[in-house]
Structure 1
Amino acid sequence: MRTVKIGGVPEHFNLAWYLTLKNGEYKSEGINLRWHDYYGGTGAMCKALRNGDIDMAVILTEGIIKDIIEGNPSKIVQTFVQSPLIWGIHVAHHSNYNEINDLKGTKAAISRYGSGSHLMAYINAENNHWNLDKDLHFEVIKNLNGAVEGLTNGIADYFMWEKFTTKPYVDDEIFRRIDECPTPWPCFVIAVSDNFIAESKNDLDTILRIINNTTAEFKNIPSIDKTIANRYEQKLEDVQEWLSLTEWSQSVLDRNTVAKIQKELFTLNIITKITDYKNLVYTPS
Protein backbone atom coordinates (compact mmCIF):
# COMPACT_ATOMS: atom_id res chain seq x y z
CA MET A 1 0.00 0.00 0.00
CA ARG A 2 1.46 3.33 -1.08
CA THR A 3 1.67 6.13 1.51
CA VAL A 4 0.66 9.56 0.25
CA LYS A 5 1.12 12.63 2.45
CA ILE A 6 -1.26 15.58 2.11
CA GLY A 7 -1.36 18.87 3.99
CA GLY A 8 -4.06 21.42 4.71
CA VAL A 9 -5.31 23.91 7.25
CA PRO A 10 -7.36 22.41 10.11
CA GLU A 11 -10.49 24.30 9.10
CA HIS A 12 -14.04 23.49 8.04
CA PHE A 13 -13.17 23.75 4.32
CA ASN A 14 -11.30 20.47 4.67
CA LEU A 15 -13.89 18.41 6.53
CA ALA A 16 -14.55 16.41 3.35
CA TRP A 17 -11.00 15.02 3.57
CA TYR A 18 -11.58 13.97 7.18
CA LEU A 19 -14.82 12.22 6.27
CA THR A 20 -13.30 10.26 3.39
CA LEU A 21 -10.33 9.26 5.56
CA LYS A 22 -12.61 8.21 8.41
CA ASN A 23 -14.61 6.06 6.00
CA GLY A 24 -11.42 4.31 4.80
CA GLU A 25 -12.14 5.21 1.19
CA TYR A 26 -8.48 5.59 0.17
CA LYS A 27 -7.33 2.43 1.94
CA SER A 28 -9.98 0.45 0.07
CA GLU A 29 -8.18 1.58 -3.10
CA GLY A 30 -4.73 0.62 -1.78
CA ILE A 31 -3.70 4.15 -0.76
CA ASN A 32 -2.54 5.07 2.74
CA LEU A 33 -3.42 8.79 2.65
CA ARG A 34 -1.90 10.60 5.64
CA TRP A 35 -3.30 14.03 6.50
CA HIS A 36 -1.07 16.66 8.12
CA ASP A 37 -2.48 19.84 9.67
CA TYR A 38 -0.59 23.02 8.81
CA TYR A 39 -1.50 25.71 11.32
CA GLY A 40 0.94 28.08 9.60
CA GLY A 41 -1.18 27.98 6.45
CA THR A 42 -0.08 28.33 2.84
CA GLY A 43 3.47 29.52 3.48
CA ALA A 44 4.18 26.46 5.61
CA MET A 45 2.67 24.13 3.02
CA CYS A 46 4.69 25.68 0.19
CA LYS A 47 7.82 24.93 2.19
CA ALA A 48 6.64 21.38 2.89
CA LEU A 49 5.99 20.73 -0.82
CA ARG A 50 9.43 22.05 -1.70
CA ASN A 51 11.09 19.88 0.94
CA GLY A 52 9.18 16.74 0.00
CA ASP A 53 7.51 16.57 3.42
CA ILE A 54 4.14 16.24 1.68
CA ASP A 55 3.07 15.10 -1.78
CA MET A 56 -0.12 17.16 -1.99
CA ALA A 57 -1.60 20.28 -0.42
CA VAL A 58 -4.99 21.95 -0.20
CA ILE A 59 -3.69 25.46 -0.48
CA LEU A 60 -4.57 29.07 -1.22
CA THR A 61 -4.60 29.75 -4.95
CA GLU A 62 -2.57 32.96 -4.97
CA GLY A 63 0.03 31.57 -2.56
CA ILE A 64 0.88 28.45 -4.54
CA ILE A 65 0.93 30.35 -7.85
CA LYS A 66 3.50 32.73 -6.37
CA ASP A 67 5.60 29.87 -5.01
CA ILE A 68 5.54 27.81 -8.22
CA ILE A 69 6.74 30.87 -10.12
CA GLU A 70 9.54 31.15 -7.54
CA GLY A 71 10.65 27.56 -8.13
CA ASN A 72 8.36 25.24 -6.18
CA PRO A 73 8.42 21.99 -8.22
CA SER A 74 4.66 21.46 -8.06
CA LYS A 75 1.53 21.94 -10.14
CA ILE A 76 -2.08 22.84 -9.45
CA VAL A 77 -4.23 19.84 -10.41
CA GLN A 78 -7.67 21.31 -9.76
CA THR A 79 -9.74 23.92 -7.97
CA PHE A 80 -10.97 22.71 -4.56
CA VAL A 81 -13.18 25.60 -3.40
CA GLN A 82 -14.62 27.71 -6.20
CA SER A 83 -16.04 30.51 -4.08
CA PRO A 84 -13.91 33.37 -2.72
CA LEU A 85 -12.35 33.23 0.71
CA ILE A 86 -13.78 35.98 2.89
CA TRP A 87 -10.88 37.42 4.86
CA GLY A 88 -11.86 39.21 8.04
CA ILE A 89 -9.71 42.20 8.95
CA HIS A 90 -9.25 42.04 12.70
CA VAL A 91 -7.83 44.25 15.43
CA ALA A 92 -7.51 43.61 19.14
CA HIS A 93 -10.89 44.00 20.84
CA HIS A 94 -9.79 47.03 22.87
CA SER A 95 -7.85 48.61 19.99
CA ASN A 96 -8.41 52.26 19.09
CA TYR A 97 -8.70 51.31 15.39
CA ASN A 98 -12.31 51.41 14.25
CA GLU A 99 -12.28 51.54 10.45
CA ILE A 100 -10.11 50.37 7.61
CA ASN A 101 -8.37 53.68 6.98
CA ASP A 102 -7.20 53.76 10.60
CA LEU A 103 -4.91 50.86 9.65
CA LYS A 104 -3.10 52.72 6.89
CA GLY A 105 0.64 52.63 7.67
CA THR A 106 0.26 50.31 10.67
CA LYS A 107 1.69 46.81 11.09
CA ALA A 108 -0.09 43.69 9.77
CA ALA A 109 0.38 40.37 11.54
CA ILE A 110 1.17 37.64 8.99
CA SER A 111 1.79 33.94 9.43
CA ARG A 112 4.88 34.15 7.22
CA TYR A 113 6.07 35.91 4.08
CA GLY A 114 4.37 34.42 1.03
CA SER A 115 1.36 33.30 3.08
CA GLY A 116 -2.24 34.22 2.34
CA SER A 117 -2.29 36.70 5.22
CA HIS A 118 0.74 38.40 3.65
CA LEU A 119 -0.54 38.46 0.05
CA MET A 120 -4.05 39.55 0.99
CA ALA A 121 -2.65 42.50 2.91
CA TYR A 122 -1.50 43.77 -0.50
CA ILE A 123 -4.91 43.14 -2.04
CA ASN A 124 -6.56 45.01 0.83
CA ALA A 125 -4.09 47.89 0.50
CA GLU A 126 -4.76 48.15 -3.23
CA ASN A 127 -8.52 48.07 -2.64
CA ASN A 128 -8.15 51.06 -0.33
CA HIS A 129 -5.68 52.95 -2.56
CA TRP A 130 -2.82 52.81 -0.06
CA ASN A 131 0.81 53.32 -1.03
CA LEU A 132 2.17 49.77 -1.21
CA ASP A 133 5.72 50.90 -0.38
CA LYS A 134 4.91 53.19 2.54
CA ASP A 135 1.65 51.98 4.04
CA LEU A 136 2.36 48.25 4.48
CA HIS A 137 4.44 46.87 7.36
CA PHE A 138 4.55 43.31 8.65
CA GLU A 139 5.14 41.27 11.77
CA VAL A 140 5.52 37.48 11.41
CA ILE A 141 3.36 35.71 14.03
CA LYS A 142 3.34 32.14 12.58
CA ASN A 143 -0.30 31.18 13.22
CA LEU A 144 -3.66 32.13 14.72
CA ASN A 145 -2.44 31.72 18.29
CA GLY A 146 0.48 33.98 17.45
CA ALA A 147 -1.95 36.57 16.13
CA VAL A 148 -3.91 36.52 19.38
CA GLU A 149 -0.72 37.20 21.31
CA GLY A 150 0.59 39.73 18.78
CA LEU A 151 -2.55 41.87 18.62
CA THR A 152 -3.26 41.64 22.35
CA ASN A 153 0.26 42.75 23.23
CA GLY A 154 0.47 45.43 20.55
CA ILE A 155 3.26 43.74 18.58
CA ALA A 156 1.08 44.08 15.49
CA ASP A 157 -2.00 46.16 14.73
CA TYR A 158 -4.26 44.06 12.50
CA PHE A 159 -4.60 40.51 11.25
CA MET A 160 -6.31 39.07 8.19
CA TRP A 161 -7.68 35.53 8.43
CA GLU A 162 -10.71 33.61 7.19
CA LYS A 163 -13.82 35.26 8.63
CA PHE A 164 -15.59 32.21 10.01
CA THR A 165 -12.51 30.59 11.50
CA THR A 166 -11.86 33.73 13.54
CA LYS A 167 -15.53 34.35 14.44
CA PRO A 168 -15.24 32.59 17.85
CA TYR A 169 -12.38 34.97 18.72
CA VAL A 170 -14.62 37.90 17.81
CA ASP A 171 -17.47 36.45 19.88
CA ASP A 172 -15.09 36.05 22.85
CA GLU A 173 -14.00 39.69 22.49
CA ILE A 174 -10.38 38.83 21.72
CA PHE A 175 -10.58 40.25 18.20
CA ARG A 176 -12.83 42.87 16.69
CA ARG A 177 -13.55 42.58 12.97
CA ILE A 178 -13.65 45.99 11.32
CA ASP A 179 -13.93 44.97 7.67
CA GLU A 180 -13.81 42.12 5.16
CA CYS A 181 -11.73 41.45 2.04
CA PRO A 182 -12.88 38.62 -0.27
CA THR A 183 -10.40 37.04 -2.65
CA PRO A 184 -11.21 38.04 -6.25
CA TRP A 185 -10.81 34.40 -7.41
CA PRO A 186 -11.44 30.78 -6.28
CA CYS A 187 -9.78 30.44 -2.91
CA PHE A 188 -8.43 26.88 -2.56
CA VAL A 189 -6.75 24.56 -5.05
CA ILE A 190 -5.14 21.15 -4.80
CA ALA A 191 -1.42 21.29 -5.58
CA VAL A 192 0.78 18.24 -6.12
CA SER A 193 4.54 17.83 -6.39
CA ASP A 194 5.91 17.17 -9.87
CA ASN A 195 7.53 13.97 -8.62
CA PHE A 196 4.21 12.60 -7.39
CA ILE A 197 2.50 13.43 -10.68
CA ALA A 198 5.27 11.68 -12.61
CA GLU A 199 5.41 8.59 -10.39
CA SER A 200 1.84 8.10 -9.17
CA LYS A 201 -0.65 9.43 -11.69
CA ASN A 202 -3.10 6.56 -11.04
CA ASP A 203 -3.05 7.20 -7.29
CA LEU A 204 -3.60 10.91 -7.93
CA ASP A 205 -6.59 10.17 -10.16
CA THR A 206 -8.05 7.89 -7.49
CA ILE A 207 -7.62 10.43 -4.68
CA LEU A 208 -9.22 13.19 -6.75
CA ARG A 209 -12.13 10.93 -7.72
CA ILE A 210 -12.85 10.09 -4.07
CA ILE A 211 -12.66 13.64 -2.73
CA ASN A 212 -14.62 15.05 -5.67
CA ASN A 213 -17.44 12.57 -5.15
CA THR A 214 -17.67 13.76 -1.54
CA THR A 215 -17.47 17.51 -2.16
CA ALA A 216 -20.08 17.26 -4.94
CA GLU A 217 -22.59 16.02 -2.35
CA PHE A 218 -21.13 17.69 0.74
CA LYS A 219 -23.99 20.08 1.45
CA ASN A 220 -26.50 17.22 1.25
CA ILE A 221 -24.87 15.18 4.02
CA PRO A 222 -27.45 14.87 6.82
CA SER A 223 -26.83 17.33 9.68
CA ILE A 224 -23.54 18.48 8.14
CA ASP A 225 -24.08 21.93 9.66
CA LYS A 226 -24.26 20.45 13.16
CA THR A 227 -21.20 18.26 12.50
CA ILE A 228 -19.15 21.29 11.45
CA ALA A 229 -20.37 23.40 14.36
CA ASN A 230 -19.41 20.72 16.87
CA ARG A 231 -16.07 19.80 15.34
CA TYR A 232 -14.84 23.37 14.83
CA GLU A 233 -16.54 24.89 17.88
CA GLN A 234 -18.61 27.36 15.90
CA LYS A 235 -22.14 28.64 16.26
CA LEU A 236 -24.68 26.79 14.14
CA GLU A 237 -25.94 29.99 12.48
CA ASP A 238 -22.38 30.92 11.47
CA VAL A 239 -21.84 27.50 9.92
CA GLN A 240 -25.11 27.75 8.04
CA GLU A 241 -24.11 31.15 6.65
CA TRP A 242 -20.70 29.78 5.65
CA LEU A 243 -22.28 26.79 3.88
CA SER A 244 -24.59 29.11 1.95
CA LEU A 245 -21.57 31.09 0.67
CA THR A 246 -19.20 28.20 -0.09
CA GLU A 247 -19.05 26.21 -3.33
CA TRP A 248 -16.65 23.33 -3.89
CA SER A 249 -15.25 22.49 -7.31
CA GLN A 250 -14.27 19.34 -9.15
CA SER A 251 -12.75 21.14 -12.14
CA VAL A 252 -9.33 22.22 -13.36
CA LEU A 253 -8.43 25.85 -12.66
CA ASP A 254 -9.12 27.59 -15.98
CA ARG A 255 -6.73 29.69 -18.05
CA ASN A 256 -8.59 32.97 -17.66
CA THR A 257 -8.57 32.74 -13.87
CA VAL A 258 -4.86 31.91 -13.79
CA ALA A 259 -4.17 34.88 -16.08
CA LYS A 260 -6.24 37.20 -13.86
CA ILE A 261 -4.45 36.10 -10.68
CA GLN A 262 -1.01 36.47 -12.23
CA LYS A 263 -1.86 39.92 -13.60
CA GLU A 264 -3.01 41.07 -10.15
CA LEU A 265 0.02 39.64 -8.35
CA PHE A 266 2.35 41.15 -10.94
CA THR A 267 0.72 44.57 -10.63
CA LEU A 268 1.26 44.43 -6.86
CA ASN A 269 4.91 43.36 -7.33
CA ILE A 270 4.16 40.12 -5.48
CA ILE A 271 5.51 38.13 -8.46
CA THR A 272 8.31 39.29 -10.74
CA LYS A 273 7.11 37.58 -13.92
CA ILE A 274 4.08 36.03 -15.57
CA THR A 275 4.49 32.44 -16.70
CA ASP A 276 2.67 30.07 -19.04
CA TYR A 277 -0.45 28.28 -17.86
CA LYS A 278 1.20 24.87 -18.36
CA ASN A 279 3.96 25.79 -15.89
CA LEU A 280 1.36 26.26 -13.15
CA VAL A 281 -1.46 23.83 -13.91
CA TYR A 282 -1.28 20.12 -14.67
CA THR A 283 -3.84 18.97 -17.21
CA PRO A 284 -3.96 15.26 -18.09
CA SER A 285 -2.99 14.61 -21.69
Structure 2
Amino acid sequence: MKTIHIGGVPEHFNLAWYLALKQGAFKKAGINLRWEDYPSGTGAMAKALRKGDIDLAVILTEGIIKDIVDGNPSKIIQTFVETPLIWGIHVAQNSTYNSLEDLKGTKAAISRYGSGSHLMAYINAQNNDWNLETDLHFEVIKNLDGAVEGLTEGKADYFMWEKFMTKPLVDKGVFRRIGKCPTPWPCFVIAGRDESLSIYQNEINTILDIINNITKNFKNIPDIDKIIAERYHQKIEDVQEWLSLTEWSQNQMSEATINNIQEQLLALNIIPKKIGFDDLVTVI
Protein backbone atom coordinates (compact mmCIF):
# COMPACT_ATOMS: atom_id res chain seq x y z
CA MET A 1 0.00 0.00 0.00
CA LYS A 2 1.48 3.35 -1.08
CA THR A 3 1.64 6.13 1.53
CA ILE A 4 0.87 9.64 0.27
CA HIS A 5 1.01 12.75 2.46
CA ILE A 6 -1.38 15.64 1.91
CA GLY A 7 -1.63 18.96 3.73
CA GLY A 8 -4.46 21.43 4.23
CA VAL A 9 -5.91 23.95 6.63
CA PRO A 10 -8.10 22.47 9.39
CA GLU A 11 -11.18 24.33 8.14
CA HIS A 12 -14.66 23.53 6.86
CA PHE A 13 -13.53 23.70 3.21
CA ASN A 14 -11.62 20.46 3.82
CA LEU A 15 -14.30 18.49 5.66
CA ALA A 16 -14.77 16.28 2.59
CA TRP A 17 -11.24 14.93 3.11
CA TYR A 18 -11.97 14.16 6.77
CA LEU A 19 -15.18 12.34 5.82
CA ALA A 20 -13.39 10.27 3.14
CA LEU A 21 -10.63 9.34 5.59
CA LYS A 22 -13.16 8.47 8.31
CA GLN A 23 -15.03 6.23 5.87
CA GLY A 24 -11.77 4.49 4.91
CA ALA A 25 -12.34 5.36 1.24
CA PHE A 26 -8.65 5.71 0.40
CA LYS A 27 -7.62 2.55 2.27
CA LYS A 28 -10.26 0.57 0.38
CA ALA A 29 -8.58 1.79 -2.81
CA GLY A 30 -5.19 0.59 -1.56
CA ILE A 31 -3.84 4.04 -0.61
CA ASN A 32 -2.59 5.09 2.81
CA LEU A 33 -3.43 8.80 2.62
CA ARG A 34 -1.96 10.71 5.56
CA TRP A 35 -3.56 14.12 6.21
CA GLU A 36 -1.43 16.83 7.84
CA ASP A 37 -3.07 19.94 9.33
CA TYR A 38 -1.40 23.27 8.55
CA PRO A 39 -3.21 25.84 10.74
CA SER A 40 -0.85 28.63 9.65
CA GLY A 41 -1.86 28.07 6.04
CA THR A 42 -0.36 28.57 2.62
CA GLY A 43 3.21 29.57 3.37
CA ALA A 44 3.79 26.57 5.61
CA MET A 45 2.30 24.18 3.03
CA ALA A 46 4.37 25.65 0.20
CA LYS A 47 7.48 25.12 2.31
CA ALA A 48 6.40 21.53 3.09
CA LEU A 49 5.93 20.81 -0.64
CA ARG A 50 9.40 22.16 -1.36
CA LYS A 51 10.97 20.02 1.38
CA GLY A 52 9.04 16.88 0.40
CA ASP A 53 7.25 16.65 3.75
CA ILE A 54 3.99 16.35 1.80
CA ASP A 55 3.18 15.14 -1.70
CA LEU A 56 -0.06 17.08 -2.17
CA ALA A 57 -1.61 20.23 -0.74
CA VAL A 58 -5.06 21.80 -0.73
CA ILE A 59 -3.80 25.33 -0.94
CA LEU A 60 -4.79 28.90 -1.78
CA THR A 61 -4.57 29.56 -5.50
CA GLU A 62 -2.61 32.82 -5.33
CA GLY A 63 -0.17 31.41 -2.77
CA ILE A 64 0.85 28.33 -4.75
CA ILE A 65 1.07 30.30 -8.02
CA LYS A 66 3.45 32.74 -6.36
CA ASP A 67 5.54 29.93 -4.91
CA ILE A 68 5.75 27.99 -8.19
CA VAL A 69 6.86 31.19 -9.94
CA ASP A 70 9.46 31.50 -7.16
CA GLY A 71 10.79 28.00 -7.90
CA ASN A 72 8.63 25.52 -5.99
CA PRO A 73 8.89 22.26 -8.00
CA SER A 74 5.13 21.65 -7.92
CA LYS A 75 2.09 21.92 -10.19
CA ILE A 76 -1.61 22.67 -9.81
CA ILE A 77 -3.57 19.52 -10.67
CA GLN A 78 -7.14 20.65 -10.03
CA THR A 79 -9.36 23.45 -8.79
CA PHE A 80 -10.84 22.38 -5.45
CA VAL A 81 -13.13 25.29 -4.50
CA GLU A 82 -14.48 27.26 -7.46
CA THR A 83 -15.92 30.21 -5.54
CA PRO A 84 -13.91 33.07 -4.04
CA LEU A 85 -12.68 33.03 -0.45
CA ILE A 86 -14.31 35.81 1.54
CA TRP A 87 -11.62 37.36 3.74
CA GLY A 88 -12.86 39.25 6.77
CA ILE A 89 -10.82 42.31 7.76
CA HIS A 90 -10.59 42.34 11.54
CA VAL A 91 -9.37 44.63 14.30
CA ALA A 92 -9.23 44.10 18.06
CA GLN A 93 -12.53 44.68 19.83
CA ASN A 94 -11.16 47.72 21.71
CA SER A 95 -9.37 49.15 18.66
CA THR A 96 -9.99 52.78 17.69
CA TYR A 97 -10.14 51.77 13.99
CA ASN A 98 -13.66 51.77 12.56
CA SER A 99 -13.24 51.83 8.79
CA LEU A 100 -10.92 50.51 6.07
CA GLU A 101 -9.67 54.06 5.51
CA ASP A 102 -8.53 54.13 9.17
CA LEU A 103 -6.24 51.15 8.42
CA LYS A 104 -4.30 52.89 5.66
CA GLY A 105 -0.61 52.90 6.61
CA THR A 106 -1.10 50.66 9.68
CA LYS A 107 0.33 47.21 10.34
CA ALA A 108 -1.30 44.02 9.05
CA ALA A 109 -0.89 40.78 10.97
CA ILE A 110 0.13 37.99 8.56
CA SER A 111 0.78 34.31 9.17
CA ARG A 112 4.03 34.52 7.17
CA TYR A 113 5.42 36.25 4.11
CA GLY A 114 3.97 34.66 0.97
CA SER A 115 0.87 33.49 2.86
CA GLY A 116 -2.70 34.20 1.86
CA SER A 117 -3.06 36.79 4.61
CA HIS A 118 0.05 38.54 3.24
CA LEU A 119 -1.00 38.45 -0.41
CA MET A 120 -4.60 39.48 0.27
CA ALA A 121 -3.39 42.56 2.14
CA TYR A 122 -2.10 43.72 -1.25
CA ILE A 123 -5.44 42.96 -2.93
CA ASN A 124 -7.25 44.92 -0.21
CA ALA A 125 -4.80 47.82 -0.55
CA GLN A 126 -5.32 47.93 -4.31
CA ASN A 127 -9.10 47.81 -3.88
CA ASN A 128 -8.88 50.89 -1.65
CA ASP A 129 -6.35 52.80 -3.82
CA TRP A 130 -3.60 52.67 -1.22
CA ASN A 131 0.06 53.11 -2.07
CA LEU A 132 1.44 49.56 -2.11
CA GLU A 133 4.91 50.73 -1.03
CA THR A 134 4.08 53.14 1.77
CA ASP A 135 0.66 52.09 3.08
CA LEU A 136 1.41 48.41 3.81
CA HIS A 137 3.35 47.19 6.85
CA PHE A 138 3.42 43.69 8.31
CA GLU A 139 3.81 41.74 11.54
CA VAL A 140 4.26 37.95 11.33
CA ILE A 141 1.93 36.21 13.80
CA LYS A 142 2.01 32.59 12.47
CA ASN A 143 -1.65 31.61 12.91
CA LEU A 144 -5.09 32.59 14.20
CA ASP A 145 -4.05 32.27 17.85
CA GLY A 146 -1.08 34.51 17.10
CA ALA A 147 -3.43 37.04 15.51
CA VAL A 148 -5.60 37.15 18.64
CA GLU A 149 -2.51 37.87 20.73
CA GLY A 150 -1.00 40.29 18.21
CA LEU A 151 -4.10 42.45 17.78
CA THR A 152 -5.07 42.36 21.46
CA GLU A 153 -1.56 43.44 22.53
CA GLY A 154 -1.25 46.05 19.79
CA LYS A 155 1.64 44.39 17.91
CA ALA A 156 -0.46 44.65 14.74
CA ASP A 157 -3.54 46.64 13.78
CA TYR A 158 -5.62 44.41 11.53
CA PHE A 159 -5.84 40.80 10.39
CA MET A 160 -7.35 39.21 7.29
CA TRP A 161 -8.66 35.64 7.55
CA GLU A 162 -11.57 33.64 6.17
CA LYS A 163 -14.75 35.37 7.32
CA PHE A 164 -16.63 32.35 8.64
CA MET A 165 -13.68 30.79 10.50
CA THR A 166 -13.16 34.05 12.39
CA LYS A 167 -16.87 34.66 13.04
CA PRO A 168 -16.79 32.90 16.48
CA LEU A 169 -14.07 35.36 17.57
CA VAL A 170 -16.25 38.25 16.38
CA ASP A 171 -19.24 36.81 18.25
CA LYS A 172 -17.14 36.49 21.43
CA GLY A 173 -16.02 40.12 21.21
CA VAL A 174 -12.34 39.32 20.57
CA PHE A 175 -12.34 40.83 17.06
CA ARG A 176 -14.49 43.36 15.25
CA ARG A 177 -14.93 42.86 11.50
CA ILE A 178 -14.85 46.21 9.71
CA GLY A 179 -14.79 44.96 6.13
CA LYS A 180 -14.37 42.04 3.79
CA CYS A 181 -12.34 41.27 0.70
CA PRO A 182 -13.20 38.37 -1.63
CA THR A 183 -10.48 36.79 -3.76
CA PRO A 184 -11.01 37.70 -7.42
CA TRP A 185 -10.50 34.05 -8.48
CA PRO A 186 -11.28 30.45 -7.39
CA CYS A 187 -9.84 30.17 -3.92
CA PHE A 188 -8.46 26.64 -3.40
CA VAL A 189 -6.58 24.27 -5.69
CA ILE A 190 -4.98 20.87 -5.23
CA ALA A 191 -1.26 20.97 -6.00
CA GLY A 192 1.39 18.27 -6.02
CA ARG A 193 5.16 18.00 -6.02
CA ASP A 194 6.50 17.22 -9.50
CA GLU A 195 8.35 14.18 -8.16
CA SER A 196 5.26 12.82 -6.39
CA LEU A 197 3.05 13.41 -9.43
CA SER A 198 5.44 11.28 -11.45
CA ILE A 199 5.88 8.46 -8.91
CA TYR A 200 2.27 8.24 -7.70
CA GLN A 201 0.34 9.20 -10.84
CA ASN A 202 -2.18 6.34 -10.62
CA GLU A 203 -2.70 6.73 -6.88
CA ILE A 204 -3.21 10.50 -7.17
CA ASN A 205 -5.78 10.01 -9.92
CA THR A 206 -7.62 7.61 -7.62
CA ILE A 207 -7.44 10.16 -4.75
CA LEU A 208 -8.96 12.82 -7.01
CA ASP A 209 -11.74 10.47 -8.10
CA ILE A 210 -12.63 9.71 -4.48
CA ILE A 211 -12.63 13.32 -3.24
CA ASN A 212 -14.46 14.60 -6.32
CA ASN A 213 -17.26 12.08 -5.81
CA ILE A 214 -17.73 13.48 -2.30
CA THR A 215 -17.57 17.17 -3.22
CA LYS A 216 -20.07 16.71 -6.08
CA ASN A 217 -22.75 15.84 -3.53
CA PHE A 218 -21.30 17.53 -0.45
CA LYS A 219 -24.24 19.85 0.18
CA ASN A 220 -26.67 16.91 0.01
CA ILE A 221 -25.02 14.96 2.84
CA PRO A 222 -27.68 14.55 5.55
CA ASP A 223 -27.25 17.11 8.37
CA ILE A 224 -24.05 18.48 6.80
CA ASP A 225 -24.78 21.92 8.27
CA LYS A 226 -25.02 20.45 11.77
CA ILE A 227 -21.83 18.38 11.27
CA ILE A 228 -19.88 21.48 10.20
CA ALA A 229 -21.34 23.65 12.97
CA GLU A 230 -20.37 21.14 15.64
CA ARG A 231 -16.91 20.30 14.30
CA TYR A 232 -15.82 23.90 13.66
CA HIS A 233 -17.70 25.58 16.53
CA GLN A 234 -19.90 27.62 14.18
CA LYS A 235 -23.46 28.86 14.47
CA ILE A 236 -25.81 26.85 12.26
CA GLU A 237 -27.03 29.97 10.44
CA ASP A 238 -23.44 30.97 9.62
CA VAL A 239 -22.75 27.49 8.24
CA GLN A 240 -25.89 27.60 6.12
CA GLU A 241 -24.85 30.98 4.69
CA TRP A 242 -21.36 29.65 3.96
CA LEU A 243 -22.75 26.56 2.22
CA SER A 244 -24.97 28.77 0.06
CA LEU A 245 -21.92 30.77 -1.08
CA THR A 246 -19.48 27.89 -1.66
CA GLU A 247 -19.11 25.70 -4.74
CA TRP A 248 -16.56 22.91 -5.12
CA SER A 249 -14.93 22.00 -8.41
CA GLN A 250 -13.87 18.73 -10.01
CA ASN A 251 -12.08 20.36 -12.94
CA GLN A 252 -8.70 21.74 -13.88
CA MET A 253 -8.26 25.50 -13.80
CA SER A 254 -8.46 27.05 -17.26
CA GLU A 255 -5.55 28.76 -18.98
CA ALA A 256 -7.58 31.99 -19.15
CA THR A 257 -8.09 31.98 -15.37
CA ILE A 258 -4.41 31.21 -14.69
CA ASN A 259 -3.36 34.06 -17.00
CA ASN A 260 -5.79 36.46 -15.32
CA ILE A 261 -4.48 35.58 -11.84
CA GLN A 262 -0.88 36.01 -12.95
CA GLU A 263 -1.70 39.39 -14.50
CA GLN A 264 -3.20 40.59 -11.22
CA LEU A 265 -0.33 39.23 -9.10
CA LEU A 266 2.18 40.82 -11.46
CA ALA A 267 0.40 44.19 -11.28
CA LEU A 268 0.67 44.02 -7.48
CA ASN A 269 4.38 43.10 -7.63
CA ILE A 270 3.55 39.85 -5.81
CA ILE A 271 5.29 37.91 -8.60
CA PRO A 272 8.25 39.24 -10.61
CA LYS A 273 7.15 37.69 -13.93
CA LYS A 274 4.55 35.48 -15.58
CA ILE A 275 5.37 31.90 -16.46
CA GLY A 276 3.77 29.49 -18.91
CA PHE A 277 0.52 27.65 -18.21
CA ASP A 278 2.32 24.29 -18.48
CA ASP A 279 4.82 25.44 -15.84
CA LEU A 280 1.99 25.99 -13.36
CA VAL A 281 -0.57 23.33 -14.26
CA THR A 282 -0.45 19.67 -15.23
CA VAL A 283 -2.99 17.04 -16.14
CA ILE A 284 -2.18 13.70 -14.55
After TM superposition, the score normalised by the length of structure 1 is 0.99
Q: In structure 1, what is the Cα distance between the partners aligned to 2:68 and 2:236? A: 38
* Unmatched runs of 5 consecutive residues or more in structure 2: none
SS of the residue 1:26 aligns to = helix
Q: What's the CA shift string for 1:121-162, capped at 9, x where partnerless?
A: 000000000000000000000000000000000000000000
Amino acid of the structure 1 residue aligned with 2:89:
I
Q: In structure 1, what is the Cα distance between the partners aligned to 2:48 and 2:30? A: 24
SS of the residue 2:25 aligns to = coil
Give identity over the alignment, percent.
Answer: 70
Q: In structure 1, what is the Cα distance between the partners aligned to 2:35 and 2:272? A: 33
Q: In structure 2, what is the Cα distance between the partners aligned to 1:127 and 1:154? A: 25
Q: CA RMSD in A?
A: 0.4
SS of the residue 1:159 aligns to = strand
1:185-200 equivalent positions in 2, closer than 5 A:
185-200=185-200
Tell me by how many angstroms 1:116 deviates: 0.1
Q: Which residue of 2 aligns with 1:51?
A: 51
Q: Which residue of 2 aligns with 1:8?
A: 8
1:174-189 equivalent positions in 2, closer than 5 A:
174-189=174-189
2:176 pairs with 1:173: no
Q: In structure 2, what is the Cα distance between the partners aligned to 1:111 and 1:68? A: 19
Q: Which residue of 2 aligns with 1:123?
A: 123
Q: In structure 1, what is the Cα distance between the partners aligned to 2:226 and 2:198? A: 40
* Unmatched runs of 5 consecutive residues or more in structure 1: none
Tell me by how many angstroms 1:53 deviates: 0.3
Q: Which residue of 2 aligns with 1:202?
A: 202
Q: Which residue of 2 aligns with 1:100?
A: 100
Tell me by how many angstroms 1:283 deviates: 1.8
Tell me by how many angstroms 1:73 deviates: 0.5
Q: What's the CA shift string for 1:218-249, capped at 9, x where partnerless?
A: 00000000000000000000000000000000
Amino acid of the structure 2 residue aligned with 1:142:
K
Amino acid of the structure 2 residue aligned with 1:6:
I
Q: In structure 2, what is the Cα distance between the partners aligned to 1:49 and 1:188? A: 16
SS of the residue 2:167 aligns to = helix
Q: In structure 1, what is the Cα distance between the partners aligned to 2:213 and 2:258? A: 25
Q: Which residue of 2 aligns with 1:234?
A: 234
Amino acid of the structure 2 residue aligned with 1:219:
K
Q: What's the CA shift string for 1:98-131, capped at 9, x where partnerless?
A: 0000000000000000000000000000000000
Q: Which residue of 2 aligns with 1:216?
A: 216
Q: In structure 2, what is the Cα distance between the partners aligned to 1:251 and 1:138? A: 35
- Paired residues in the alignment total 284
Q: In structure 2, what is the Cα distance between the partners aligned to 1:94 and 1:281? A: 45
Q: In structure 2, what is the Cα distance between the partners aligned to 1:272 and 1:192? A: 23
Tell me by how many angstroms 1:178 deviates: 0.1
1:59-78 equivalent positions in 2, closer than 5 A:
59-78=59-78
2:109 pairs with 1:109: yes
Q: In structure 1, what is the Cα distance between the partners aligned to 2:78 and 2:43? A: 19
The runs of 4+ residues in structure 1 deviating greater than 6 Å are none
Amino acid of the structure 1 residue aligned with 2:71:
G
Q: In structure 1, what is the Cα distance between the partners aligned to 2:199 and 2:52? A: 14
Q: Which residue of 1 aligns with 2:277?
A: 277
Q: What's the CA shift string for 1:29-50, capped at 9, x where partnerless?
A: 1100000000110000000000
SS of the residue 2:34 aligns to = strand
Amino acid of the structure 2 residue aligned with 1:184:
P
